[in-house]
Structure 1
C-alpha cells in the first residue's frame, strides 16, 4: 500500500464492509468543517467556472498571499506535485527523506538524478548547485515542524528551485513560507485542502508561486479540473473560520491520547514527537509492521507500514490521529497483541 487509506482493498481482504474499517493509515481529519447538505442547491447544468474565481477568492482569504504571487488549483495535492515536476523538468532533484513516494515516483518517470538527504542525521548537507529541492514541512511520516530559515539561505545561495510541501501545516501554529516568494521567484509552495478539512473525497490542492511561474505552469493545464461540487463544498468549508482553531486544539489533544496508547502498548521503542495529525513509531526489537497489521485484522484496524519511505524499514509505522473512541479501540487491540507478538 503506497499511500495509505485503501480501505476497499483491505475490507475485501478481511471480509468486511469498507465503512467497518478503522483506518489509521490515512492522515485525514476525522471531523469535517461542513456537511454535504451545503451542496443541495449546486447547479449541475452549466459548466463550472474555468477560472475558479469564487474558490480562489475564498482561498486567498484563508491563505493570504502578497502581490506578485499567484495560485493554480489542482485535483488534489498529488496532481499538483506531478504537474509541477513535469513542468520544471529538473535534472537534479534533492529529496529530504523520509518523505512520501509521489516525488520519487515522478522523478523516475522524468529520468531525474535523485539525491536523498537524511533529515534526521544530515539536515544541512551540501546539495548540487541549480538543483530542485523538495522539503515537506511539517514532515511526513514523523510530523516534525522545521524552522526553514537556514535551509532557505543555503538553497538560495546554491541557486536552487525550491518546492515546499505544506500539506499538513494547517494542523500547526506556524506561518507559511509563502511570503518568501516575493524575494525569491524560484520558490513554490504546495498545499492540500482535503487533509485538514477532513474531505479526502474532495480533491483540491494548489500551488503558490511567482506570477510568471504560475503563468508558465498554467500553459499545460486543462480547463475544468474541479467540479462544481468540489468548489461549492470547499468554499463553504473555508468560510468556517472557527474550525481552524477548534481543529488544532482537538488534534493536539487526540495526538496526546494516541501517543499514550502507543506507549502503553509496550510494542514500540521510539515514538516521534510529531506536530501534525499523525505519529511515527518504531517497533521494538526490529519488529515487523506487516506482522502487526495481520494481528490487527480481526479488530478491522488498518495501519500504515512505512518501509516505502526512503530511509525507513518495516519496523516503522505511522498512525493517523482519530477520535477518542477509535484511539481507545486501537489501544485495546494493541494490548491484546502484546509486545512479543511482532518480534522477528
Structure 2
C-alpha cells in the first residue's frame, strides 16, 4: 500500500524563470470568424482584423499543396533546401544567410533567445508590434520603449536610448510599422544603423514589404553585419494559415539562429507552398495594385465620414474614432461592428484608445464596412 504525502509540504511551488513573465498577457489575435458566428449567430461575416490577403493565395500554391498530400507521413526537409535556394535567388543573398521560421513571429522569438539574456535590454518604438515587448518579458530582459514621433519610429531618440542603455542587445524596427502603417526612409535607417554599436543587432521587421517595395532595405546587409531582415509569407503571399517566414542576415548570425531554431519548424506543406508563392510574383503585383486601389477608396470614405486616419504603407489603415456622440468611442464602434458581422481590430493594448486598425479588403468587403460604419455613426 502506497503512503500518501501532503503535496503542499513536499513540492516546491512552480514559478516562472523570470518574474517579468507574470506581467505578460496572452497575445490577442483578431477575432476568428467562427468565434463571431458562435457568439452572435452572424453567418455573413467580413473579417478585416488580421491583415490577411483578402484574395487568398496564388493558384500555384494550391497545386503545390496537393502534390504534398501523399507525403504527410514523412518529415519535411529540416534544412528547407529548395525554399532557401529560391529565397537566396530572389533576395540576391547566399543560402547560408537564410533562416526559416514558423512565421516571422517564430524568427523574432529565435532572435531574442539567441542574443538576449536576463541582464540585457531590447529597444523598440511606442506603437510598434507588441510582440517586441513580450519578447523582452519572456527573456527576463529590460524592455525600453521609445516614444513615437507622429505615430512612427523616432530613430534619433532610439539611437540615444541605445547609448543610454549599454546592455542593449536588440533593436526591433517594423518597416512599414504595425499597427500604424508608417514608413522610414532608406537614408535615415542607414544613419541609425551606423550610429549604434556593431554589437547591437538591428532587426528590421519587413512583414509588409510587398505592399511597399520601396521600403526594401536588403542593401543594408551588404554593409552591416549586425542587420537582420525578417519577412513573412502570411500577408501579401496569403499563407497566414501555414506559418512560414524567413530571416536574412550575415552568415555568422544565421549560423547562430539555425542552432537555436527547432528542427522541422516549417512543415512539408509550408515549404512547398512558400516556394510556389514566391515564384508567382504576378500574383503579388495583382495583390499590391488591388490594395493600393482599395486603400485610396477607403481614405476617401473616411474623409467623407469625418474620421481621421494615418496614411498607411501596408495593407491596413489606422482610423481615429472621435465623433461628437455621447458614449461613443472606438470600443463602442468596434462592438457595434462585431454585432453586425464586421470584424476589425481594437488597439487598446497599444494605448491607442480612440483608434481602430482596419485591414484593406476586396471592394465588396470594404463597401460593407463603410455602409455598416456609416449606419452606426448616424444612428440616433
Once the two structures are superposed, residues 245-267 of structure 1 have per-residue CA deviations (whole angstroms, 9 ceiling, x without a partner) of: 2222111001112222323333x
Confirm or deny: 8 A CA contact 2:334 2:344 kept in the other structure.
yes
Alignment match of 2:114 (pick from 80, 84, 87)? 87
Give, in angstroms, the shift of residue 171 of structure 1: 0.7
The answer for the alignment partner of 2:161 in structure 1 is 127
Deviation (angstroms), 1:340: 7.5
Task: Quote the offset at 1:68 in angstroms.
Answer: 9.0
Q: Structure 1 residue 211 and structure 2 residue 237: aligned?
A: no
Structure number with higher helix proportion: 2
Quote the offset at 1:291 in angstroms: 0.6
Q: Residues of 2 paired with 1:241 and 1:323: CA distance?
A: 19
Name the structure 1 match of 2:92: 64
Indicate the residue corresponding to 1:329 in structure 2. 368
Distance 2:378 2:183 in 1: 30
Q: Which residue of 2 aligns with 1:303?
A: 344
Provide the residue aligned with 1:223 in structure 2: 263
Bigger Rg, which one: 2
Which 10-residue stretch deviates more, 124-133 or 270-279?
Answer: 124-133
For the 8 Å contact 1:181–1:210, the answer to whether it is kept is yes
Query: Is 1:55 the equivalent of 2:93?
Result: no
Tell me, yes or no, if structure 1 residue 96 matches structure 2 residue 130.
no
Which residues of structure 2 form unaligned runs of 5+? 1-26
Q: Distance in 1 between matches of 2:143 and 2:190?
A: 20
**Match of residue 249 from structure 1:** 289
Q: Tell me the equivalent position of 1:164.
A: 204
String of CA shifts for 1:65-86, please: whole Å, max 9, x gaps. 2x59601101111111111111
- 1:327 Cα deviation (Å)? 0.5
1:274 aligns with 2:312: yes
Residue pair 1:117, 1:123 contacting (<8 A) in 2 also: no
1:14-66 CA-partner distances (Å, limit 9, x unpaired): 2245xx4211111011122225243222241432211111111222233332x
Match of 2:41 among 3, 6, 15: 15
Q: How far does residue 242 in structure 1 lie from its aligned partner after superposition?
A: 1.1
CA distance in structure 1 between the partners assigned to 2:259 and 2:205 by the alignment:
22
Q: Is the aligned partner of 1:33 residue 2:53? A: no
- Alignment partners' CA distance in 2, 1:157 and 1:274: 27
Task: Give SS of 2:97's match.
Answer: strand
Match of 2:179 in 1: 141
Q: 1:294 to 1:222 in 2, by over 3 A?
A: closer
Deviation, 1:150, is 2.6
Provide the rounded CA distance (Å) in 1 between the counterparts of 2:96 and 2:186: 20
Q: What TM-score do the two structures reach when normalised by structure 2? A: 0.82
Post-superposition shift, 1:279?
0.4
Instruction: Kindly state the Cα deviation for residue 6 of structure 1 after the two structures are TM-superposed.
Output: 3.1
Is residue 113 of structure 1 aligned with residue 142 of structure 2? Answer: yes
| Distance change >3 Å, CA 300–CA 68, structure 1 → 2 | closer
Tell me which of 150, 154, 168 is aligned to 2:192.
154
On the 8 A contact 1:99/1:140 being kept in 2, the answer is yes
Distance 1:234 1:279, change over 3 A: same
1:236 to 270, 273, 276: 276
Q: Alignment partner for residue 319 of structure 1, among 358, 362, 366?
A: 358
Measure the CA separation in 2 of the matches of 1:60 and 1:68.
5
CA contact (8 A) 2:319 2:355 kept: yes
Aligned length: 334
Q: Conserved in 1, the CA contact under 8 Å of 2:91 and 2:218?
A: no
CA distance in 1, matches of 2:182, 2:87: 25
